[in-house]
Chains A and B, each alone.
Chain A
Amino acid sequence: MSDFTTDQLHRYSRHIILKEVGVEGQLSLNRARVLVVGAGGLGSPVALYLAAAGVGTLGIIDDDVVELSNLQRQIIHATPDVGRHKVESASNSLKAMNPDVKVEPYKFKLCADNVLSIVKEYDFVVDGTDNFAAKFLVNDACVLAGIPFSHGGVLRFAGQAMTILPGESACYRCVFRQPPPEDAVSSCSQAGILGAIAGILGTIQATEVLKFITGNGQLLTNTLMSFDALTMDFRKIPLSRQEDCPVCGLKPSITSPVDYKPAVCDPRSGKIE
């Protein structure tokens, strides 16, 4: 039985008329709870498309404020938002996009002490973070809590994505054992990124979420999808679970989330110091 209002039927009509989504698929989207980690380059298109799609509850976590230099790619924020907390700015954009969506903002950083309790509240998690420490933290927490998630990363003109179903498919740590040494990697701020690259990759991640929730197609499980926008080459590298993976293998050495940079969570703000 559908409880859609007439407005909702119009809003979601292009989903409902898809054979693969239909009324049931749209209801599943409306009931779904998705956490977007990071309200930046990837989190912007992910959260906007999920809100537009009618995902019922969107958690969004980020401790940053909007800076002018973000606006070249972080399209959930606009010029008047400079100086505002990203989660507040993002919540406003999402509510404007679709008032049906309930936004749960977290105005602090994910860290080893808070990550499990947060990811456990959601059906699916999207990694839209910009650093390796956070990517491993999200992976480990989702694997330990058994929450499906999408890994995504972008730099310069390239991006990569992978979908992880804990216990079923290879995890991020099966492929990348540990973060590279800090001085070996460039951050976005040092390396630069073509803004639209974040849009391509974030939209791929949002598509994976929508496929997962509606039960359609083949996910990017056991697969690292990568692309180079300069040549527009997309490729898929097949992967498999590793028995010696430190978090999802047979004898895991990681049994609780770890912060890579020595960090202390302030229990009041959750901020890493």
Chain B
Amino acid sequence: MSNKDHQLDASINLVGQGCPMNLVYTKVELAKMVSGQLLEIILDDGVPVRNVSRSIEEEGHDLLHKKQLTDGSWSVIVRKS
């Protein structure tokens, strides 16, 4: 799994998932991974991308990359702490 700049270990599409379930699914996915692995999260524009991005940083993970996709959703790439 990869996108242009990053070799991804997992990707999860949370388009249509509101708060806080998008964060719950993100945390469940991160819990399956080991430190240093990369997760891509696809999130809706607006509150979802703002809240989930902030929460994963508050939990100590590295937010490596954030890019809006052509359909308006966001791809957020996180390195698990």
Judge whether A105 is part of the interface by a CB distance below 8 angstroms. Answer: no
Judge whether A19 and B59 touch: CB under 8 Å: yes
Chain B contacts for A9, CB-based, 8 A: 21, 24-25, 28
B29 to chain A, nearest CB (A): 9
What's the nearest-Cβ distance from chain A to residue B75, in Å?
22
Interchain CB contact (< 8 A) of A17 among B31, B32, B55:
B55
| Interface of B, helix, strand, loop or mixed by DSSP | helix
> Residue-by-residue, is B11-34 near A (CB-CB < 8 Å gives 1, otherwise 0)?
000000000110111011001100
In the assembled complex, B58 has its CB within 8 A of some CB on chain A:
yes
Number of interface residues of A (CB under 8 A): 13
A19 B20 Cβ-Cβ under 8 A: no
Which of B21, B27, B55, B58 sits near A23, CB closer than 8 Å? B27
CB distance from A84 to the nearest CB of B (A): 38
Residues of B whose CB lies within 8 Å of any CB of A are: 20-21, 23-25, 27-28, 31-32, 55, 58-59
A-B contact pairs, 14 of them (CB 8 A): A2-B32, A4-B28, A9-B25, A10-B21, A13-B24, A16-B28, A17-B20, A17-B23, A17-B27, A19-B58, A19-B59, A22-B31, A22-B59, A23-B31
